[in-house]
Amino acid sequence: MRKVNVGLIGYGMAGSVFHAPLVTATEGLELAKVVSSDPAKVQKDYPAVAVVPRVAELLADPSIEVVVVASPNLTHFQYAKQALEAGKHVVVDKPFVINVAEADELIALAKQKGRLLSVFQNRRYDNDFLTVRKVIAEGLLGDIYSYEAHYDMFRPQITTKWKEHAGVGTGALYDLGPHLIDQAVQLFGAPRTVFADLAWQRPDVEVDDYFHLVLGYGRLRVVLQSCWVVKQPGPHFQVHGTKGSLIKYGLDSQQPDLQKGMRPGHPEWGRDPEAFYAEMTVGTAITARSRIETIPGCYETYYKDLYASVVRGIPLSVTPEEARTTMLIIELALQSVRERRVVALPAEAN
């Protein structure tokens, strides 16, 4: 199996919790170099990995084929552009970039350079989303008229994280919105319309810590919501169709398991406790309820697919065009908030 050397830009939460562990768990990928201002932190986890202080040093290494951009959101465009210009394949952590213009420039540059460009939409591989997707695809709920997904947390105190402080690309919509939007677009395609409400709820908060999006698909309504002061969450997913409903509580376990040191291959990796299995209710004259066993989550699939794309030319599992659609919806959501109205997507986006 051919070895593909990977360079990682950033060793904060995204780099240390997600990318480094998943890259090193993927056969054929080799984490070769990390850009970080804290080399001791990196080498505590990966003693054999080289650490450099500047992006330019990583990009100048001809042995690096793939560069993963896991730095703060505002730097995604700059570092991805530099990596593409250096002839590297590029993975960008979500959100892809800050706006559609940046997305378009990177997509055009990747095509010009003949390099792969992808975005780490790991929550396509959440156990609960995989389960919901299968139930919808098999038609078990009939025609879907209502889909609701929440990504709530309990963080009543403002933290020191850069995502919670004023700046371009910070706040809940840029942080958690790309997950929920990407999942919805995977299920239903691009919406026709977007309506959004943002709020700054906690005292002295500098960024939006609440969002409520309504994506319009004709008769279907998709509601996506996040609130950062929710002690007792309601359902993560609610899906209602002409044949029945599905209700799912609980979030996928892969992120906390990665933080605890668990890795793909562990017997419990990606599995859901039975208490969190989805409940499906179907029927008209006679109602029947059943529990749906959760499909195991598999974040490692993203990097397995990426390796196949680099080495064998297999199509990317997450394309930059798909990530552009997510950025377009975020842009229109911000426009909706400013103008206090429903905003239609351009015709070419549908």
Q: What is the mean pLDDT of residues 18-46?
A: 97
Between CA 325 and CA 230 the distance in angstroms is: 29
- pLDDT value of position 349: 76
Residue 93 included in any domain: yes
Is 1 a residue whose pLDDT tops 90?
no
Residue 349 included in any domain: no
- Of the three residues 63, 85, 120, the one that is the final residue of a domain is 120
Pair (205, 222) in one structural domain? yes
**Spatial CB neighbours of 328, under 8 Å, sequence gap ≥ 6:** 100, 190, 345, 346, 349
Percent of the chain at pLDDT > 70 equals 100
Pair (146, 107) in one structural domain? no
- Contact status, residue 314 vs residue 305, Cβ threshold 8 Å: yes
**pLDDT tens, 318-342?**
999 999 999 999 999 999 999 999 9
Task: Band the pLDDT of 347: cuts 50, 70, 90.
Answer: confident
Between CA 296 and CA 338 the distance in angstroms is: 40
Pair (202, 336) in one structural domain? yes
- Its domain, for residue 15, covers 4-120
Pair (151, 279) in one structural domain? yes
- Contact status, residue 243 vs residue 145, Cβ threshold 8 Å: no
- pLDDT value of position 284: 82
- pLDDT value of position 162: 85
Does the bond joining 191 to the residue before it have cis omega, within 30 degrees of 0?
no
Work out how many domains the chain is built from and give that number. 2
Residue 231 included in any domain: yes
Pair (293, 149) in one structural domain? yes
Q: Residue 101: which CATH number?
A: 3.40.50.720
Pair (185, 289) in one structural domain? yes
pTM of the entire predicted model: 0.96
- pLDDT value of position 339: 98
- pLDDT value of position 160: 86
Pair (135, 254) in one structural domain? yes
**pLDDT tens, 203-258?**
999 999 999 999 999 999 999 999 999 999 999 999 999 999 999 999 999 999 99
Residue 324 included in any domain: no
Residue 313 included in any domain: no
CA 161 remoteness from chain centre: 19
Q: What is the mean pLDDT of residues 155-164?
A: 89
Residue 322 included in any domain: no
Neighbours of 114 (CB within 10 A): 9
Residue 67 included in any domain: yes
Pair (161, 233) in one structural domain? yes
Q: How far is CA 147 from CA 180, 216, 344, in A?
A: 11, 11, 19
Smallest CA-to-CA distance from 129 within 305, 267, 302, 252 is with 252
Pair (113, 127) in one structural domain? no
- Of the three residues 69, 89, 120, the one that is the final residue of a domain is 120
Pair (147, 164) in one structural domain? yes
DSSP string of 38-59, one letter each residue: -HHHHHHH-TTSEEES-HHHHH
Pair (222, 334) in one structural domain? yes
**pLDDT tens, 165-212?**
888 999 999 999 999 999 999 999 999 999 999 999 999 999 999 999
Residue 303 included in any domain: no
Q: Residue 231: which CATH number?
A: 3.30.360.10
Mean pLDDT, the chain, as a whole number?
97
Pair (105, 127) in one structural domain? no
**pLDDT tens, 258-313?**
999 999 999 999 999 999 999 999 988 788 999 999 999 999 999 999 999 999 99
- Of the three residues 120, 143, 178, the one that is the final residue of a domain is 120
- pLDDT value of position 272: 96
